[in-house]
Amino acid sequence: MKSLPRNIFFLLLGVLLVACGPGEDEENQNQNQNQNQNQNQNQNQNQNQNQNQNQDELVNLIATAEAAGDFTTLLSALDATGLTATLADESNDFTVFAPTDAAFAAISDVVDDLSNDELETILLFHVMAGTITSDMVTAGDFPTLADIDVEIMIDGADIFYQNAQITSVDVMASNGVIHVLDAVALPPEEPQPEENIVEIAVGNADFSSLVAALQRADLVETLEGAGPFTVFAPTNDAFDEFLDGDDLADIPVEALTDVLLYHVLSGDVRAADLEASVVTTVQGAPALVIEGNDGWTYARANITSADIVASNGVIHVIDTVVTPPGDIVDEAIAGEFDSLVAAVTRADLVETLQGAGPFTVFAPTDDAFEALLPVLGVQDIDEIDVDLLTDVLLHHVLPGAAYSFDISPGVVETANDPLSVALLAPDADGNLSYGDVFGDFDSAQITVTDVVATNGVIHVIDAVVVPPPNLADLAAGSGAFDNLVAAVVHAELLETVSEGGPFTVFAPVDAAFDALLDTLDQDIEDFAPADLAEILLFHVLPEALSSHQISPGDYETAMGEDATIASGPDGLTYDEAPIVDTDIMARNGVVHVIGGVALPPED
């Protein structure tokens, strides 16, 4: 047999080796692959465990920034603007683009000149709502908490947040994430208008009458000045109604100047900044800004369009030409309060109510005075005793200017001398009334509010309010407090409750005194006056508080010890005695009726 060629022999040998199955090397390779797979599985499990553990250890954004150590200036700025608590709140969820200390140092001269509001805006410009990790970041414009959109740009691997580059990402916190910036991102500046207030008015055909008035009053140069000014600009229709057929040239220049400057405020006041208030105009007189049924009003003119921004301020369009007010007497005359003016004149109070004040006057209408005359048994205001008339009129005057947005239910002290107080309280329809609202004496509905005067404000009421009797006379005349009156007399407190005050008296009914006297087996005269005075003064607070002004708590009494007002199943109690009636007004205080006698704590 011939031998096989060498190359064929090795080829057959290779085939036989393959046919015999895997060799030792391949088995070793498979074992190594299995070990690597097991190791990878273990690493993944460890990674997941570490991630869960890290998630559990996360702290809020503020604590995370503090731990990083490179955000000292940012943290100080957040403190200064009151934003720390917001970013520390675990219930919130934010993404913070955080400039480093070096970033803030680079613009320290700019930061030092910022107001608190401006600094807050810049800080909020670095915050977005929600947790936005780096894998979620895309290019575009996005809203920030400053209500200003930020531009995010991506250039290859580099990400820019407005003018700042993101140098580190995904510093996770329990309530969000931090991305680090190498610069402080500055919000884009709003484009500045080129036209001033006068130029805008000239360019608007509906302000031609206003422009003509400004020219006649020689105010064009003033409103072309640096300002800033806020102008409430009447339309041509408003001027037509104001002129009522007359010509602008018929108005004296001085009067026209006053009217026009009454439409101007110093400063740039945008619609978003409006709030119920009385503002001082450039003319000097006050003007009322308040929200009405159809939107905001200025001096009772409707603001029909707002925020026409000029280079030196802002224009708001109004539908009426408004005029500066006079003093309280002038406004009463203008408002056709003929009877009130006659009464004020007879009582020699004109000069008082033309004084600096400020005053709040609750002004009865002519019909209200007509209704009073037969009650007093007279036919004309001139027949009313001057002292009585003065007393009644000053009972309608409060010291200070209290506008409708300042008024809340409660006892108010009038400008009267001797002292008199009145009650402001809501009626069944929620409208405020003035006087002895729930008692047997006069009260009046407030029908018109906020008639502004240079020295105060007038609120119109539909009745004349006569001051009620003092606390002692009120109790004596009621028939329900005979024991209390006897006790006050025996304790030598009659002068105090007649002429002092204002007080809040928690007055026990006769039955409550009877029950106490029966328990003690004593009469009122059996008490030492000083001991009885302590008991009585424990029922008195040294200020006048209506039911709207009291709530559960401890109150210092005129005796010096605290009494507790608490909420019980049937309402409030005064030192465990039920309060059964409230807000009975006296000249020098208010009475709340209680169903028991409260005893001061023993020494």
Q: What is the pLDDT of residue 426?
A: 82
d(CA 460, CA 299): 17
pLDDT digits (tens, 9 = 90+) for 91-104: 999 999 999 999 99
Relative orientation angle of helices 253-261 and 208-216, to the nearest 10 degrees: 130
What span, in angstroms and rounded, lies between the C-alpha atoms of 97 and 95?
7
Looking at 69-228, list the stretches that DSSP marks H as alpha helix, in order from N- to C-terminal side. 72-80, 84-88, 101-106, 108-112, 116-124, 197-202, 208-216, 220-223
Other beta carbons less than 10 A from residue 399's beta carbon: 14
Specify the pairing of strand 589-594 against strand 164-173. Answer: unpaired
The token duo for 562 is 């605290």
d(CA 130, CA 169): 15
Confidence of residue 603 (pLDDT cuts 50, 70, 90): low
Q: At what angle do helices 338-346 and 366-376 cross, to 10 degrees?
A: 50
Place of tokens 């200390």: 101
Cis ω for the linkage preceding 228 (within 30 of 0): yes
The contacts of residue 498 (CB under 8 Å, 6+ apart) are 470, 471, 472, 473, 588
Mean pLDDT of 354-365: 96
pLDDT given for residue 431 in this prediction: 80
Residue 461's Cβ-side half-sphere holds a number of Cα atoms within 13 Å equal to: 26
Residue 38 has pLDDT above 80, yes or no: no
- pLDDT of 90 > 90? The answer is yes
What pLDDT, on a 0 to 100 scale, did the predictor assign at position 5? Answer: 43
**Distance from C-alpha of 317 to C-alpha of 296, rounded to nearest angstrom:** 11
How confident is the model over 204-222, as a mean pLDDT? 96
Q: How many CB atoms lie within 10 A of CB 26?
A: 10
- Above 60 in pLDDT, residue 438? no
SS3 of 491-555: CCCHHHHHHCCCEEEEEECHHHHHHHHHHHCCCHHHCCHHHHHHHHHCCEECCCCCHHHCCCEEE
Q: How far apart are CA 320 and CA 323, in angstroms?
A: 10
Closest CA to 559 of 508, 589, 603: 603
Q: What is the pLDDT of residue 121?
A: 94
What pLDDT, on a 0 to 100 scale, did the predictor assign at position 21? 46
- pLDDT bucket at 158, cuts 50 / 70 / 90: very high
How high is the pLDDT of residue 481?
96
The overall average pLDDT reported for the chain is 89
Does the pLDDT value for residue 35 go beyond 70?
no
Per-residue pLDDT of 400-425, as tens digits, reads: 999 999 998 999 999 998 899 999 98
Q: How many residues does the chain have?
A: 603
Q: pLDDT tens digits for 449-494?
A: 999 999 999 999 999 999 999 999 999 999 999 999 999 999 999 9
Q: What's the pLDDT band for 48 if we cut at 50, 70, 90?
A: very low
Using CA atoms, how far residue 271 sits from 68, 405, 458, in Å, is 42, 19, 27
Q: Are the C-beta atoms of residues 304 and 237 closer than 8 Å to each other?
A: no
- For the sheet with 540-541, list strands across it: 540-541, 503-508, 589-594, 577-586, 571-574, 562-568, 553-556
Pair 163, 186: CB distance under 8 Å: yes
DSSP letters for 198-262? HHHHHT-GGGHHHHHHHHHTT-HHHHTSS--EEEEEE-HHHHHHHHTT--GGGS-HHHHHHHHHT
Q: Where does the pLDDT of residue 192 fall: very low under 50, low under 70, confident under 90, or very high at 90 and above? A: confident
| Tokens encoding 585 | 């007004």
Helix/strand/coil for 486 = helix
pLDDT band at 319 (very low <50, low <70, confident <90, very high): very high
- pLDDT the model gives residue 430: 74
- Phi, psi torsion values for 150, nearest 5 degrees: -110, 145
The DSSP secondary-structure symbol of 429 reads T
User: Is the peptide bond between 468 and the residue preceding it cis, with omega within 30 degrees of 0?
Assistant: no
Q: Who contacts 377 (Cβ-Cβ below 8 Å, separation ≥6)?
A: none
Give the contacts of 279 (CB within 8 A, at least 6 positions apart).
Answer: 265, 286, 287, 289
In the predicted structure, residue 67 carries a pLDDT above the cut 60:
yes
Query: Which residues lie closer than 8 Å to 357 by C-beta, 6 or more apart?
Result: 328, 401, 455, 456
